[in-house]
Amino acid sequence: MRTTINVDDDLLKEVKGIAAQSGRSMNDLIEDALRESLARRRMPASASKFEMPVFHGDGVMPGVDLSNSAALLEIMDESDADS
């Protein structure tokens, strides 16, 4: 079906650029964007939420630096070896 819509100039330039880079038509890109947007609206709100399990305790063990992934792996390996 053919229809006419008004699109912001900057948005249209961005879509044209993406279409040219990807070798797809603007029509295809706009249809895909509309489908994705409508699919997100149809999703129940609870489906987008994720609950992290919480364990009680006194926080991080002494000497554990959560920003150092290599050190965390060493600590986990040590605890596995002890088991």
Residue type, position 68, single letter: N
Judge whether 40 lies within some domain. Answer: yes
54 or 74, which is more confident:
74
Q: Is residue 42 part of a domain?
A: yes
Between these two residues, 58 and 73, which has the higher pLDDT value? 73
Please indicate, yes or no, if residue 78 is contained in any of the structural domains: no
> Is residue 31 situated within a structural domain?
yes
Residue 34's domain comprises 9-47
Q: Give how many domains the chain has, as a whole number.
A: 1
- Alpha carbons 6 and 12: distance in angstroms, whole number: 10
- Examine residue 65 and state whether it is found in any structural domain, yes or no: no
Question: How many Å apart are CA 37 and CA 43, to the nearest integer?
Answer: 10
pTM tops 0.85, yes or no: no
What are the tens digits of pLDDT across the range 8-44? 999 999 999 999 999 999 999 999 999 999 998 887 7
